[in-house]
Amino acid sequence: MQRFGTVQEVSTATDWQLRPLPSAAVTDLLTDPPSPLDAAIGLVAVELLDDAVVLRLDPPDVALGGEQPRPFLHGGTLATCVDTAGWYAVAHRSPGEWIAVDLRCDFLRLAAPVPHRVVGRCLTAGRTLATADVEITPWDEPDRLVAVGRARYIRGTG
């Protein structure tokens, strides 16, 4: 199963105070197409950094969870972002097939149906297990967290 996005224009890495990887280190993580689920919710990988991956969520109407008290993203949309960004972060640190075995997502405030920045950081990647943390913020407000998550992965045998 492929879980990759396409390259889109993004702000500079200095916005994150992180250095981009040398171009020789950029892999297929940015060029392969997104999974059908990621494509359905508008999630694509846009940048690989030394210690993080950046994805962009451009949510369509199907990603909405409700209209009251104002339109907001569904929790499943945000949880999918945690799973996918965590996977990217782990695969970036330790290439191979990884399968999510545990996932936690804390919703800190309603997420408006606007583009979001999803940043995944691999905390550990061992021989069989890996753990990643994910932060989700509005694209234009990188200091305003709407959700955070942690996912744990086991290395596949395929």
Full pLDDT tens readout for the chain, 158 residues: 344 333 333 333 333 333 333 333 345 778 888 899 999 999 999 999 999 999 999 999 999 999 999 999 999 999 999 999 999 999 999 998 999 999 999 999 999 999 999 999 999 999 999 999 999 999 999 999 999 999 999 998 86
Report the pLDDT value the prediction gives residue 1, as an integer from 0 to 100. 37
* Spatial contact of 110 and 70, defined as CB atoms under 8 Å apart: yes
CATH of domain 13-155: 3.10.129.10
Report the pLDDT value the prediction gives residue 113, as an integer from 0 to 100. 97
* Spatial contact of 93 and 130, defined as CB atoms under 8 Å apart: yes
Least Cα distance to 122 among 92, 82, 97, 157 occurs for 92
pTM of the shown model: 0.82
Tell me which H or E stretch contains 46.
Answer: strand 43-48
Q: Kindly state the tokens that stand for 61.
A: 């109407």
Residues 6+ apart with CB under 8 A from 47: 10, 13, 20, 30, 53, 54
Distance between CA atoms of residues 148 and 129, nearest Å: 20
Domain ranges of the chain: 13-155
Q: Which amino acid is present at 55?
A: L
> Helix or strand or coil: residue 73?
strand
